[in-house]
């Protein structure tokens, strides 16, 4: 289907998106302006965002690859997302297409995604890189791939290849399911090929981080000094196997095994059972994340990523993160690319109303979002300020954490 009609239809279907605090006041579609105009590049807000930051250490630690696989990349989307009568999945995919400014015509989706991503990287300060995630299949208890229960699939080989051919802009993150009988060998291979971390989405991939059968996997991660970036908190977009798998407390098992764990999105959505106590109380997942962050024993191996915390539905945790400067060297920034390009997801005026953003920044940020989603996310997060306090430079200089010691 042609890009215009696909996205146009999705704009209507977007109203059905569930789980999102969906604001239409900034418009719906990203107009995908091609070049960063000089006045934006030189803008004082953009300049200020880079001040005091070593751009060579700024790795955007949470980025998704996207495409339709027509180029032979192996990228795969569950065909149900093409069904306009299933509007939630359909709109979701269409919004990704628009946010990443993909050209769907004549099999160009994979290639145009990469071109657009690279162009945006090159418009950042020199040295900036993105960490692009692979995404393993959902797997059954025996470790067999279950395409019918998977939402999408990004082969490790594909993102590793992109990192190799575009080493100045792209680092890669493998996604290896721990129930795959070949998992340990795959971990070794990923480490040998320069993967910077491993990514899991437990509720979508059917992974229980607290399961003893992951212990050998965790021992291998610890030995390789390979960080595990695990989604925690509700996922909402990609369901499947139960939100309980996203309970941050289930990550005690890899933490206790000495694995470096990055809890994606600081577990900012939903509630989880307090499995530390017999009460079985349901508490906000963010509160459970905070409990882990405050435990002295995890000070050296637990981090949180702040991907998507400016989204309308996650914004409740933003002030809490800004108020905890002692955490900031253990927070790593990621954009969740291409999501910040989905215009209605981040309602900038609400950030202003909650006194975390200067209203004078609004117009510039809106323009940035239309041209460069990576720069938009970076400048927005660098501009956040609550009672004179923003995120520390260390939150953005993430390379030092992900460059594995030899």
Q: How far is the CB of 190 from Zn ion (least distance, A)?
A: 19
| Residue 51 CB partners (closer than 8 Å, separation 6+) | none
- Candidates 40-48, 92-100, 331-339, 387-395; binding stretch for Zn ion (CB under 5 A): 331-339
CA distance 143 to 148: 14
Which of 144-152, 180-188, 335-343, 350-358 is the region at the interface with Zn ion (rule: CB under 5 A)? Answer: 335-343
Shortest distance in whole angstroms from residue 63 CB to Zn ion? 8
Q: Is 336 in the site for Zn ion (CB under 5 A)?
A: yes
Query: Is residue 156 a contact point for Zn ion (CB under 5 A)?
Result: no
* In the complex, residue closest to Zn ion by CB: 336
Residues touching Zn ion: how many (CB under 5 A)?
A: 1
CA distance 176 to 199: 7
Nearest one of 151, 13, 14 to 76, comparing CA atoms: 151
CB of 121 to Zn ion, least distance (A): 18
Asked if 235 is part of the footprint of Zn ion (rule: CB under 5 A), the reply reads no
Nearer to Zn ion by Cβ, of 28 and 264: the residue is: 264
Q: 318: closest CA among 348, 356, 285? A: 356
Phi/psi at 137 (5° precision): -65, 155
Provide, rounded to whole angstroms, the least separation between the CB of residue 239 and Zn ion.
Answer: 15
Give dist(CA 53, CA 294) in Å, integer.
27
Q: How far is the CB of 64 from Zn ion (least distance, A)?
A: 6
Asked whether position 110 contacts Zn ion by CB under 5 A, the answer is no
* CB contact at 8 A, 90 and 364: no
Q: Which residues contact 130 (CB under 8 A, 6 or more apart)?
A: 59, 60, 63, 117, 121, 169, 170, 171, 337, 374
Nearer to Zn ion, 40 or 332 (CB): 332
Nearer to Zn ion, 171 or 336 (CB): 336
Given the rule CB under 5 A, which residues bind Zn ion?
336
């Amino acid at each position: 289907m042609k890009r215009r009609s696909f996205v146009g239809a999705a704009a209507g279907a977007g109203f059905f998106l569930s789980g999102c605090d969906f604001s239409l006041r900034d418009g719906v579609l990203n107009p995908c302006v091609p070049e960063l105009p000089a006045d934006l590049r030189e803008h004082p807000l953009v300049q200020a965002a880079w001040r005091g930051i070593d751009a060579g250490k700024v790795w955007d630690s949470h980025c998704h690859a996207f495409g339709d696989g027509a180029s032979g990349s192996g990228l795969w989307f569950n065909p149900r997302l093409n069904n306009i009568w299933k509007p939630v999945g359909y709109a979701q995919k269409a919004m990704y297409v628009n946010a990443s400014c993909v050209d769907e015509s004549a099999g160009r989706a994979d290639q145009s995604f990469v071109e657009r991503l690279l162009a945006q990287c090159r418009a950042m300060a020199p040295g900036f890189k993105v960490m692009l995630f692979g995404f393993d299949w959902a797997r059954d208890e025996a470790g067999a791939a279950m395409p019918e229960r998977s939402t999408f699939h990004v082969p490790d080989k594909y993102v590793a290849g992109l990192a190799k051919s575009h080493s100045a802009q792209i680092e890669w993150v493998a996604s290896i399911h721990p129930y795959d009988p070949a998992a340990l060998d795959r971990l070794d291979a990923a480490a040998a090929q320069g993967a910077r971390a491993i990514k899991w989405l437990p509720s979508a991939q059917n992974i229980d981080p607290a399961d003893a059968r992951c212990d050998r996997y965790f021992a291998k991660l610890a030995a390789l000094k390979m960080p595990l970036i695990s989604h925690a908190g509700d996922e909402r977009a990609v369901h499947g196997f139960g939100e309980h798998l996203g309970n941050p407390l289930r990550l005690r098992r890899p933490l206790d095994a000495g694995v470096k764990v990055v809890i994606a999105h600081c577990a900012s959505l939903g509630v989880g059972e307090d499995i530390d106590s017999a009460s079985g109380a349901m508490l906000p997942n963010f509160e459970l994340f905070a409990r882990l962050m405050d435990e002295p024993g995890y000070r050296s191996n637990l981090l949180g990523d702040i991907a998507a915390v400016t989204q309308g539905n996650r914004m409740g945790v933003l002030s809490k993160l800004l108020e905890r400067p002692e955490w900031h060297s253990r927070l790593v920034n990621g954009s969740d690319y291409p999501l910040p390009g989905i215009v209605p997801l981040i309602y900038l005026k609400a950030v202003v109303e909650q006194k975390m953003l200067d209203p004078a920044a609004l117009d510039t940020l809106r323009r940035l979002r239309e041209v460069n989603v990576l720069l938009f996310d970076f400048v927005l997060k660098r501009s956040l300020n609550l009672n004179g306090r923003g995120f520390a430079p260390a939150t953005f200089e993430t390379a030092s954490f992900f460059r594995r010691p030899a």
